[in-house]
Amino acid sequence: MDPNGVTVVERPELRNRIQVFRDRDHAGVVVAQMLERYRRSGALLLAVPAGGVPVAVVAARRLGLELDIAVVSKITLPWNTEAGYGAVAWDGTVRINRGLAAQVGLDEPEIDAGIELTSARVRRRVERLRGERPWPSLSGRPVILIDDGLASGFTMLVAVEAVTAAGAERVVVAVPTAPDDTVDRIAERVESVVCANLREGRPFAVADAYQSWSDVTEDEAASILAGAVGDPPSVR
């Protein structure tokens, strides 16, 4: 437990190691083991697509918990689609790293264009991955946000902000891997952070925690979710 009373749960034997997970399915098994206290508790698992979907589906099945999607997408630089300077959530929540935007020379029209483009991508993903299903009630139950790993944690912070605004009172972030400084920042905003593979220092790459790694496409995420839906009681 950190000095502020927020719980950070890790697997000490995995600290500072690389290639500790065979793939995202294996990571989901490890995360589920660390979330055992929530088994059939009524907690809601929210996968952050696309990479968080295979991790969360495995965890939901093993724990007998409801699964849904928290669509959040980073706002990327016009000249580098891997680097982000902000994020947009499904409910319209927007967060901009103003310091980084200024540092790389982005002006307001460019930032506005980035927000508009990312918002359209989020709306498309919501329609593709959730359809018209009503948003589940978040009040009075733990809400567990799952991704395949964190780097800066900026996108996850926007997801936390969005679920809190939607009425979540107890928010847990659960990821296979993350840098320790990112976990410390997120731990200030949530009830607890569960991270199997904490690593110190920079640079940091989520992919380094996996023996087999490739990006999860939107089509792949939709296919995985289609296989999960209708598999009660763990996913509905």
pTM passes above 0.85: yes
pLDDT at position 30: 97
Instruction: Give the CATH number, domain containing residue 51.
Output: 3.40.50.2020
- Ranges under pLDDT 70 in the chain: 1-6, 229-236
- Residue 6, token pair as written in the block: 């927020």
Domain range for 34: 7-71+142-228
Claim to verify: residue 59 and residue 161 sit in the same structural domain: yes
pLDDT at position 229: 53
pLDDT tens for 36-80 read 999 999 999 999 999 999 999 999 999 999 999 999 999 988 888
DSSP-assigned letter for residue 135: P
> Has residue 41 been placed in a domain?
yes
Claim to verify: residue 67 and residue 155 sit in the same structural domain: yes
> Has residue 182 been placed in a domain?
yes
Claim to verify: residue 85 and residue 66 sit in the same structural domain: no
**Overall number of domains in the chain:** 2
pLDDT at position 2: 46
Q: Which of 174, 187, 180 is nearest to 142 (CA)?
A: 174
> Has residue 236 been placed in a domain?
no
pLDDT at position 234: 37
> Has residue 235 been placed in a domain?
no
Separation CA 149–CA 208 (nearest Å): 10
Separation CA 1–CA 179 (nearest Å): 17
Claim to verify: residue 89 and residue 100 sit in the same structural domain: yes
Claim to verify: residue 103 and residue 217 sit in the same structural domain: no
Claim to verify: residue 67 and residue 80 sit in the same structural domain: no
Q: Which of these three, 84, 101, 128, is where a domain ends?
A: 128
> Has residue 171 been placed in a domain?
yes
pLDDT at position 4: 46
